[in-house]
Structure 1
Amino acid sequence: MDLKKLTLMPYGLEVQLPAGSPLTDLERGTSQRVIPFGCQQGACGACVIEVLDGFDALGEMDPEEADFLEDLGQTGGNYRLACQCRLMSAATVRVADAL
């Protein structure tokens, strides 16, 4: 199995997920709830993350996600909705609520 590392800041928590896994798999992969997944469909904004390293490692952002992030005021940075991301290679993210 091809595992990829996701580092979650500011906790310094590192998890390994199979390549291509949705980040919502974190709820099953760790006992800590570090990303507050709400609806898991990109409609609530609870899971906004800032990508510190590996933006391209999380798959492409579709226009609906970009529009929703703009509505939330999360523009001009490397923000994503964690529920819309798939881990393709190593990445480091910060939970936006922890900023």
Structure 2
Amino acid sequence: MPLNRLTLMPEGVGIDLPQGSPLTGIENKTSEPLIPFGCRSGACGACVVEVLAGSDALGETDPDEADFLEDLGWTEGNYRLACQCSLWDSATIRVVAS
């Protein structure tokens, strides 16, 4: 299975994940928490990230995810809930919620 690179900024840390892997899979690749996952179901907002490059690589935004991001005030820019994303190609993100 092909690997795709997820780069986390501003640290510049790159993690390779198999194509189609949920972003929660980075927890198995590193000993330190790079993204603060909370509920893992898109209901807490702990894992809001800004997509800096490769937004298409993270799959489509579900309407419930978009509504929740709007409720949280993340409407300007390209924001996602990392727990709701799967990596289909290379992407670069920045964690904005913690």
TM-score between the two structures when normalised by the length of structure 1: 0.96
**Unmatched tracts of structure 2, length 5 or more:** none
Tell me the residue number matched to 2:30. Answer: 30
CA deviations 1:67-99 (Å, max 9, x no partner) are 00000000021000000000000000000038x
Cα distance, 1:97–1:45 mapped onto 2, change above 3 Å: closer
Task: Output aligned runs, 1:12-27, within 5 Å.
Answer: 12-27=12-27
Q: CA RMSD in A?
A: 1.0
Q: Report the 3-state secondary structure (helix = DSSP H, G, I; strand = E; otherwise coil) of the residue aligned with 1:97.
A: coil
* Alignment correspondent of 2:40: 40
- C-alpha displacement at 1:8, in angstroms? 0.3
TM-score by length of 2: 0.97
Write out per-residue CA displacement over residues 23-80 of structure 1, whole angstroms, 9 at most, x where no aligned residue.
0001111112110000000000000000000001000101000000000000021000
Which residue in the other structure is 1:76 paired with? Answer: 76
**1:57 and 2:18 correspond:** no
Q: After TM superposition, which residue ranges in structure 1, 4 or more long, deviate above 6 angstroms?
A: none
Give me the identity figure in percent: 66
CA distance in 1, matches of 2:76, 2:95: 16
Conservation of the 8 A alpha-carbon contact between 2:45 and 2:97: no
Aligned partners of 1:72, 1:66: CA distance in 2, in Å?
Answer: 10
**Would you say how many aligned residue pairs link Structure 1 and Structure 2?**
98
Map of 1:11 onto structure 2:
11
Gap regions ≥5 residues in structure 1: none
